[in-house]
Structure 1
Amino acid sequence: MPIAKCLKDCKRGAVFCMLFASICRAISRQIHYSIPEETEKGSLVGNIAKDLGLDAKDLSDRGIHLVSQGRSEYFALNYKNGYLYTTKRIDREEICGWQETCILNAEVIVGDSMKVYGVEVEIMDINDHAPTFQLETLIINISENTALGSRFPLYEAQDPDFGNNSLQGYKLSSNSYFSLSVQRAVEGRHYTELVLERPLDREDQADHNLVLMAHDGGDPVRSGTAKIHVVVLDANDNAPIFSQRVYKVNIKEDTPVSTMVVALTASDRDQGTNKEIKYSLRKISSIASQIFHLDSNSGEITLVGNVDFEETPFHEMEVQVQDGGGLLDSATLMIIITDVNDNAPELAITSVINSVPEDSPAGTSVALLKVQDKDSAENAEVTCSVPDNLPFLLTKSYDKYYSLVTSKTLDREQVAIYNITVTAMDHGTPPLSASITIPLRILDTNDNPPFFPETVYTSYIMENNPRGASIFSLKADDPDWGENSRITYSIVEEGVKDSQLSSCLSVNSETGVIYALRSFDYEEFQQIGFLVKAQDGGSPSLSTKVSVTLFILDQNDNAPQILYPSVPTDGSTGVELAPHSSEPGYLVTKVVAVDADSGQNAWLSYQLLKATEPGLFSIGLHTGEIRTARFFLDKDALRQSLVVLVKDNGQPPLSASVTVTVVLADSIPESLSDISSISAPADPQSDLTFYLVVAVAFVSCLFFTFLLVLLALRLHRWRNSQLCDSGSVTFTGVPVSQFMGIDGVQAFLHSYCHDFSLTTDSRKRNFGFPKGNSSNTLPSQQPCVTPQIFCPVNSLVR
């Protein structure tokens, strides 16, 4: 036992020594790769299996795995093919910053051989960053008297790339005032300075805009720019200067006080306090100092006293300007006074008429005026006038008197009041004038009939309107005045009895509002045409007539009327026949309905509400054709009951329903035998329902019997007075639907109306069948008695 234990310990030691030796040999093995930065996720780095001499097929069996070093895992090993690829985008500047060499390390451990291989991936820099400045715009203030050669430091650009891809130099935009000085420090940084090469003059150029560009050495080269704004500071090196050496101004003797005579202007090319200037008067007479005032800041000379040409026709003085630095300039000011025509003509009314009738003849006198002027010579010569657009003239009566007369017949409707301005102007230079306004009122005469804005009026009203409803409003105008313009309205109609029109419509004689005296029915008549007369209150009175057409609009007040299948009157039951061999789409029958309304209110749609066998039959939405939807099955009931709903398109929609019975049989005898063999299924729970249905049916029959008797009496009276030709089928007044025309109704009635009687099992049954036919068209049969349809009487429009 001690010997065996010793051998066992020796074996363990040997295995440990071999393992330690293999690990030591593996540490010395190193694989080196290099990839450029910005490599995207999933990019290939190298073939680990090939570089280690391993078979890629058994990598997973050998327990090989990759161990990454560092803060994040950037690589992964594909154990199927031995490729090393990236797991994320790699940014050298983010990982290594300013380090010269950027290496990422990882280890590949082969589990079965206990070998470790080092993998280092060197990240190569690419030129993915352009140089950038800390500020986009650098402002430098430099005085215009700064010495040449002065230096002004600039900001340094930053480029996170490495080596030749980093910042390499600077360039300055072309200019004649500044140059760029670049110095390179020992650690590779650049120091840039702006050097003044030419004297600055703020008055010549107040600022300079330069562009500093930094560039790297990559391929392609990247660059960044910054703006340099040089502001030139001012120095007092310019004296103020007047815009004119001599100012010469002419003013009239009647120039009012506070009028600005002249504005002195001077300029100084300096800036700030050096540019602030003050104006002053020198060598001015005592009289002028009391008449003129100079604003020292604005240089405006205003009139503070009255000037008189006869007293002093000329003023001369010296003006001076001085800046904040004590520099000054002077100029001469000459003010010349000119004589004016300062007496205007005078107008006076001797007699006047305040109003004239509009039918007064031309030449009617309105006013007598007197004109005079205190001036002499040509300044006293006066010409009188009235505006050319007025129907008046001025005629000289005697010496300085003028008469104002009409030049044509006046029209009060165009102008009711005239304000006649008479102007008197002398011949002075400049001429002076005076004017006077004479108001004249034009009296009205009844010379204009009322008129409507439109020659024809059209109005619309919905049928079933309430009685007394306002339909339409007419408004006539009369340009006359007073009683001549008071208008009354009335309804007249040529060719229509007054009693008929007066029972339908009325008009408010004062307002022109037309009212409906009855409720209109679109199915009775669709429009009413009449005349409305407007008459004024003049003497003699004048009137005008206008045509008005009232259109009755349809309302959905009529439910659809089912023409086929019609409700039996002899107690028989209408039945349709469908052969067992019918294919899908076989035309069984057609539901025909009409609507007395028009437009969309008469657009009918058909819907199958209930069927014994759902899905066995279908109905056309707009045609009403009942067709088979599939082949008949043995389990299908021989007697099929279909409830069809017919609905119009009105708002709200109205509807009617009809029940169609279809018997599945190839021939009439067969259908009779099949029907007689059908027994009602036993339903032990339907007794109560049956009695309830019987009770409801009994009460309903009593109610409908009462309604039918009442309706028959009403129809009998109406038929005696309104019955059309009994031998023809006419749908006058019934609008034609776009889904079922009247011709189609007549043709269908002609084809589907059949009656015959059969007797089976001592019970008489009446069936109405079309002749069996498996085609999609209905057979032509002899028509039965044609129903009579009545026309509504149109008492107003035919």
Structure 2
Amino acid sequence: MLRVICLVKFEVLREGKAKLFPVEVEITDINDNAPGFQSEKLELKISETTAVGTRISLQQSQDPDVGITSIQIYQLSDNRHFSLDVQTRTNDVKYAELVLEKSLDREEQAVHDLILTATDGGYPVRSGTAQIRVIVLDANDNAPVFTEAIYRARVLENVPKGSTVVSVKATDPDEGVNKELKYSFRTIVEKGSQIFHLDSRTGEVTVVGNLDFEESALYEIEVQAHDGGGLFDRSKILIVVSDVNDNAPELTITSLVNSIPEDSPTGTVIALLNVQDLDSGENGEVTCSIPSNLPFRMKKLLDNYYSLVIDRTLDREQASNYNVTITATDQGTPPLSSVTSIFLQVSDENDNPPIFNQTSYTSYVRENNIKGASVCSVKANDYDLEDNSRITYSITGTQIQEAPLFAFISINSETGAQDGGSPPLSSNVSVTLFILDQNDNSPHILHPSFPTDGSTGVELAPRSSEPGYLVTKVVAVDADSGQNAWLSYQLLKATEPGLFSVGLHSGEIRTARSFADKDALKQSLVVLVKDNGQPPLSATATVTVVVADSIPEILSDLSSLSAPADPQSSLTLYLVIAMASVSCLFFTFILVLLALRLRRWRNSQLFDSSNVTFSGVPVSQFVGIDGVRAFLHSYSHEVSLTTDSRKSQFNFSKTKYSNTLSSEQTCEIKDPILVIEDVSISNGNRTSVQVS
């Protein structure tokens, strides 16, 4: 027995992992339907000449149940002329045929009433009956015969109504009324009877309803031809309905993620879709596609399932959302398609560092600016969103004069670059600040320096000097820069106007003419040093020049060094008196020694003044610093003269040289020049004389 299986197929989706599992459910039949006949009364006309053994097909009983619960037994009520033969078709469907067991005699019995019973194999057993009335006809010895045992036809499901599907034809060699044939459907399903119509006279089968391949692709119809004498023949019609592409694919979204991070890896599933097409063959083969310019692709899973996955790296800064249009297209001619849209939001990740508007910044700020003054404005942008784009600013970098940079410059962290992402991203930009100089520093006199040991600095100029003789040089520096540090020198005041001149830019003091006898031994010069700033700043240096050719001449004229107006004149007088009372022997020794030194002095250059300090003056502000150092080396000496009530003695201190551009180191000169230019007298105290 052919086993009929009723299956329900569906798929189960496992949430979270986007996996599908196909499921098949078999529905087992129960005996809930009784057999029934299409017509409870059946009339058969049989000629009395019908031969014994003739088989007459009876109407098939209908039972919706299947298998063992369908019809299993046909039974016929007891009679002398007929028996029942049950046959089984290839599809396990049983049908009954009435077999003539004994010749009929219309004159003996014109009508035979029979009862046909159909019984199923269920539990409890169900059955149905039909009444069969057999009318015995007069002799008609030729029955109709169909030209074909099976008529086959193929028709498109969209064929218009009224179209002829097939024509059946039977022949009967009898004459008269026994030759007149009528065609009728013997067996046809209820749906088929609503779709097809058989012309009883012509045998044409036409379409009167709507064909639908998806509902039924095959119709098997049994047709019968009756002649006027009651004889008939039966044939089959097989109508195959051909599918046409009349159903567009149907898309159903079974799972969907509406928002996805922009750093999601490729292959991440966004949506699961189920696609169905009721057509068959190529008409039912469906492919899903999306526009090629999107960073996604369709991936086929099971037969009817697709997944939408990420195909390329997403970037929210380039596209923050996507409206993905999915098109399902079948392979029919012409193809049919359907579309559905998925709106996908790309959520932000902190994948963009702040970017400054410029690769570097340059700003100029004046020195001495007030605290809180704006120095420079920098701006950075971050293409991320919300916290990931919230920028804070901070200063990193070097130190200024061994102090942290933030001790001089601060930045507004909110408006002033690091974002607020997790982890935060940052970027750096170089900001160059040029400090513009202001003329806030007066010139600083390096030479002659102000004595710190009580001595008075004087310069020596021999009376025999020619015009242009270099007496000394005023050396000054300015801590400013540029034109603010350009210095100029001019003689502001002199004891003998026109005797000396000062170089405008060199600061060199030279003799302008030869010395005359009337020229005073002591010349006082006031030199003005002025910078080129706006407004200009200045400083003055007082230079004392002693005009003498020899030490004795200096000593003989010491009294002239003290003017009555000088408040220190009494001290000078005391010193002269004290020195005159010194031992002649010791004084002779000193004179010899001074003579020797004076001779060497005439052949040498002037030395640097001692203890000249450049500390605190930036090296960059010196122009020709080696020249300054050479000048100080040549023109500066220090001589001490000490006396008391018992003896007179000259103490010559060693000349000190200081390199103020590095550490303060001293250099000793073995043969210092002993030149006395100014003498300060103090009772019982040490007297220092500084010569520059």
TM range (shorter): 0.3 to 0.5
Name whichever structure is richer in helix by fraction.
1
TM-score (norm: length of structure 2)? 0.40
TM-score (norm: length of structure 1)? 0.35
Over alpha carbons, which structure has the higher Rg? 2
Higher relative contact order (Cα pairs below 8 Å, separated by 6+ residues): 2
